[in-house]
């Protein structure tokens, strides 16, 4: 999403990104009065510069933020997410609520421990 700023367009938050970071979707905060929801990292960065909702500019602070309703968390959990290890060759697309389990077992995970076939540990 972009907002005009005296003739210039300024990127507002991460709402337009094609690559979704699953950890940001697990528990997004919501402004209680206007009910706009954000990813944690982006709204924290936004609040370091101003204490307003980035969508409608209503006054809101970090202390005002609340978790999104359960129905939204349920909807987010059903999103189909590309594995974080796609850059290493994984082609899996899994539901958000199954992603962490997949990442732990993903054969393309560069941080996954590898058992030595020579018995050294």
Q: Which CATH class is domain 10-77?
A: alpha beta
Mention every residue, 6+ apart, whose C-beta is less than 8 A from residue 83: 90, 91, 92, 93, 94, 99, 102, 103, 106, 108
pLDDT at site 79: 85
Summarize the confidence of residues 5-9 as an average pLDDT: 39
Residue 19 has pLDDT above 60, yes or no: no
Residue 4 has pLDDT above 70, yes or no: no
Domain locations along the chain: 10-77, 79-110
- For the record, the structure tokens of 50 come out as 């101003």
pTM above 0.75, yes or no: no
Contact 68, 28 (CB under 8 A): yes
Please write the tens of the pLDDT for every residue from 108-119. 998 887 777 777
Please write the tens of the pLDDT for every residue from 61-108. 889 999 888 888 888 888 888 898 999 999 999 998 898 899 989 999
């Amino acid at each position: 999403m972009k907002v005009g700023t005296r003739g210039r367009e300024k990127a507002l938050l991460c709402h337009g990104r094609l690559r979704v970071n699953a950890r940001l979707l697990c528990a997004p905060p919501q402004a209680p009065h206007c009910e706009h929801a954000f990813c944690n990292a982006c709204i924290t960065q936004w609040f370091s510069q101003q204490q307003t909702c980035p969508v409608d500019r209503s006054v809101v602070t970090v202390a005002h933020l609340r978790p999104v309703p359960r129905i939204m968390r349920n909807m987010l959990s059903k999103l189909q997410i590309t594995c974080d290890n796609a850059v290493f060759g994984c082609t899996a697309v899994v539901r958000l609520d199954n992603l962490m389990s997949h990442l732990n077992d993903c054969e393309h995970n560069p941080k996954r421990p590898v058992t030595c076939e020579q018995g050294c540990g």
